[in-house]
C-alpha cells in the first residue's frame, strides 16, 4: 500500500493548478495588447516603454475609472491582493514588490545643471526605473577651486552610502544637501504609497486622482511580478508564491476586461 499511497499523492499534485503558469498565459494577452496599442510610437521600444505608455494612456485610464466605479468588488480584490503580496515578500532584483512603494510615473532621464551660490551641479539620471529612492546616477560638482565627481552608479539618494560618497569627494554639508534635494525634485510624484489608498474603507473616499494612482500602481505591480517570475527571482513551487500569482491572475483577468481597443 505504501507505493500506492505515493502514487496517489503524485496524482493529487498533478491535479493542482500552477498559478504561475496561469499568470504567464494571461500576461501573454496583456503583452499582446500593449504591443498592438503602442508599437511604433515615439520612444516605445522595450517592455518597460510599453508599460509606461499604458500608464500614461488617457483612454485606458478613463476606462479603468469607469470599471472601478461599476464593479463594487474590485477594491476588495485589490485589498486582498495587497495583503497576500505583503505576506509573501516577493522581490525583483533584491527590491521588494509592494504597493507601499511603487513607481507610478517614469523618471525623467538625462543630465541637467543648476548653479547655486557660485557652485554648478551637473547631475544625471541614467535609467527611468526607480525603487524607493534608488537611482542610477552620476554627479559632477564644480566649485570655484575644484571639480568633484561620482561616476555612474546606483545609490539610495537618502542613504548613508550616497552621502558618504559625496563627502569623500570633498563636498561640504550644504553642497551635499543641495545635491540630494536636486535629485528629490526629479523624484517628486514618481514613487507613491498606493497601499494606503487601497485600504481606505470605502471607494467613495477615493477621488479621481487617487484612482488614477491606483491604476498606475497596479499596472507597475503586475509588470514587476512578471519580471520576478521570468527572471527567476521567486520560487514558483512555494505555496506563498502560488497564492500571490493566484490573486495576481484574478486581478490581471479583470484588467484584460477593461482594456479598450
pLDDT tens digits for range 140-157: 999 988 999 999 999 989
- Reading the block at residue 253, the C-alpha cell is 483577468
Contacts of residues 206-209 at CB distance under 8 Å and 24 or more positions apart, as own/partner, are 208/65
Who's near 145: CB < 8 A, 6+ residues apart? none
Q: At what angle do helices 58-70 and 74-88 cross, to 10 degrees?
A: 100
Given a cut of 90, whether residue 70 has pLDDT beyond it is yes
In order of 75, 83, 164, 192, the CA distances from 254 in angstroms are: 12, 18, 46, 23
| Residues of the chain above pLDDT 90, percent | 69
- Helix spans in 71-131 (H): 74-88
Of 193, 187, 255, whose CA–CA distance to 222 is shortest?
A: 255
Of 137, 61, 55, 66, whose CA–CA distance to 104 is shortest?
A: 55
Q: Is the pTM of this model over 0.85?
A: no
Q: Is 201 exposed, middle or buried (0-12, 13-18, 19+ CB in 10 A)?
A: exposed
Over residues 201-249, the pLDDT tens digits come to 788 889 999 999 999 999 999 999 999 999 999 999 999 999 999 999 9
pLDDT band at 14 (very low <50, low <70, confident <90, very high): low
Strand residues in the chain grouped as ranges (E): 91-92, 95-96, 102-103, 110-116, 119-125, 134-142, 147-156, 191-192
Amino acid at each position: 500500500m505504501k507505493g500506492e499511497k505515493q502514487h496517489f499523492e503524485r496524482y493529487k499534485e498533478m491535479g493542482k493548478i500552477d498559478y504561475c503558469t496561469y499568470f504567464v498565459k494571461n500576461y501573454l494577452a496583456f503583452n499582446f495588447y500593449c504591443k498592438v496599442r503602442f508599437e511604433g510610437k515615439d520612444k516605445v521600444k522595450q517592455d518597460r516603454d510599453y508599460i509606461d505608455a499604458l500608464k500614461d494612456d488617457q483612454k485606458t485610464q478613463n476606462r479603468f475609472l469607469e470599471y472601478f466605479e461599476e464593479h463594487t468588488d474590485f477594491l476588495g480584490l485589490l485589498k486582498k491582493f495587497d495583503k497576500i503580496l505583503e505576506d509573501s515578500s516577493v522581490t525583483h532584483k533584491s527590491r521588494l514588490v509592494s504597493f507601499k512603494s511603487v513607481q507610478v510615473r517614469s523618471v525623467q532621464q538625462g543630465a541637467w545643471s543648476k548653479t547655486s551660490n557660485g557652485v554648478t551641479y551637473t547631475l544625471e539620471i541614467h535609467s527611468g526605473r526607480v525603487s524607493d529612492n534608488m537611482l542610477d546616477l552620476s554627479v559632477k560638482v564644480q566649485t570655484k577651486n575644484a571639480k568633484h565627481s561620482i561616476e555612474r552608479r546606483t545609490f539610495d539618494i537618502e542613504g548613508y552610502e550616497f552621502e558618504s560618497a559625496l563627502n569623500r569627494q570633498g563636498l561640504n554639508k550644504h553642497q551635499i544637501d543641495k545635491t540630494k534635494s536636486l535629485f528629490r525634485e526629479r523624484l517628486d510624484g514618481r514613487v507613491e504609497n498606493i497601499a494606503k489608498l487601497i485600504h481606505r474603507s470605502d471607494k467613495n473616499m477615493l477621488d479621481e486622482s487617487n484612482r488614477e494612482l491606483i491604476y498606475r500602481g497596479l499596472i507597475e505591480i503586475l509588470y514587476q511580478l512578471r519580471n520576478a517570475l521570468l527572471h527567476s527571482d521567486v520560487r514558483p513551487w512555494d505555496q506563498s508564491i502560488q497564492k500571490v500569482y493566484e490573486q495576481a491572475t484574478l486581478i490581471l483577468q479583470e484588467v484584460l476586461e477593461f482594456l479598450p481597443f
